[in-house]
Amino acid sequence: MNQPTPKYRGQCDCGSIQYQFTDLPFDADYCHCRQCQRTTGSVVSVWMDFKVGQVQWLTASPKEYASSEFIRRGFCEQCGCSVSYRHLQHPDYITLSIATLDDPGLIEPKYHIYTSSQPSWLQIDDNCPKHRYQRNGEYD
């Protein structure tokens, strides 16, 4: 007998944007960059990466704006929740906020990026690799 594939779900704060996926993300990270800090209102964001076809929007998809030449950040028009991140030079991929999952404990980030933007008062006490910045797709 085949077991049904589990579905993982998430949503924005007000529920206007809801999504699901069946396959786990291929990557997940903590981001400390200034853009993420400003758009989420937090000193660190947690993101999970998917192929576009892995994610199914159950209601409206996020409204997007250009935060830079190649970056599109998605948010809910109703509650302002930061939901997604897309890089136009990588159109087959989408990044979603782990914090929007119904159970954010299901996905564990694997590493930290842009720790050069991390506030001095934030102490990271985990065993994940820490990268100060990203340059040309490569981490330090």
CATH number at residue 14: 2.170.150.70
Rounded Cα–Cα distance for residues 9 and 123 (Å): 31
Band (41; pLDDT cuts 50, 70, 90): very high
Rounded Cα–Cα distance for residues 67 and 87 (Å): 10
Task: Decide if 3 is inside a domain.
Answer: no
Q: Are 48 and 28 in contact (CB under 8 A)?
A: yes
Q: What 8-state DSSP symbol labels residue 125?
A: -
Q: What 8-state DSSP symbol labels residue 110?
A: -
Rounded Cα–Cα distance for residues 103 and 69 (Å): 33
Rounded Cα–Cα distance for residues 60 and 122 (Å): 35
Its domain, for residue 99, covers 8-133
Task: Decide if 83 is inside a domain.
Answer: yes
Band (26; pLDDT cuts 50, 70, 90): very high
Task: Decide if 31 is inside a domain.
Answer: yes
Task: Decide if 67 is inside a domain.
Answer: yes
Task: Decide if 1 is inside a domain.
Answer: no
Q: Are 65 and 73 in contact (CB under 8 A)?
A: yes
Cβ neighbourhood burial of 10 (10 Å; 0-12, 13-18, 19+): buried
Band (2; pLDDT cuts 50, 70, 90): low
Question: Between these two residues, 140 and 50, which has the higher pLDDT value?
Answer: 50
Tell me the mean pLDDT in the region 72-90: 97
Task: Decide if 56 is inside a domain.
Answer: yes
Q: Count of domains in the chain?
A: 1
Task: Decide if 107 is inside a domain.
Answer: yes
pLDDT of amino acid 140? 44
Task: Decide if 51 is inside a domain.
Answer: yes
